[in-house]
Amino acid sequence: MAKAYWISCYRQVTDPAKLGAYAKLAGPAIEGRGGRFLARAVATAAFESGQMERTVIIEFDSLEQALAAHASPEYQAALAALGGGAVRDLRIVSGV
């Protein structure tokens, strides 16, 4: 079974306090559903249409596990806490 990855790029942080509240809830919610943080930093370099922005990569054992983590009540509570505090591009992709 192929692994799956959440890739989240932060285009803009509009409210750092809301982002902090999100992070306190999201980390345990994601890890509690089997997610493993692989990267969590501002890009070191960006090429082509890339941007120097905060990027988070999380690995899951399966696509189903990744989708279930996103739909979980715990993660949905984290999203509610974020409440417009950041503009993000979040993608869930299957591994090869």
Domain ranges within the chain, ordered by starting residue: 4-94
Tens-place pLDDT, residues 18-77: 999 999 999 999 999 999 999 999 999 999 998 999 999 999 999 999 999 999 999 999
pLDDT of residue 10: 95
Tens-place pLDDT, residues 5-17: 999 999 999 999 9
pLDDT of residue 41: 95
The CATH number corresponding to 4-94 among 3.40.640.10, 3.30.70.100, 3.90.1150.10, 1.20.140.10 equals 3.30.70.100
Of 57, 64, 85, 70, nearest in space to 29 by CA = 70
Q: How far apart are CA 57 and CA 8, in angstroms?
A: 7
What is the end-to-end Cα distance of the chain in Å, rounded? 10
Q: Is the pLDDT of residue 94 over 90?
A: yes
As beta bridge partners, residue 48 has: none
pLDDT of residue 69: 98
pLDDT of residue 1: 78
Rounded to two decimals, the pTM is 0.92
- E-state strands within the chain: 4-13, 36-42, 54-60, 86-94
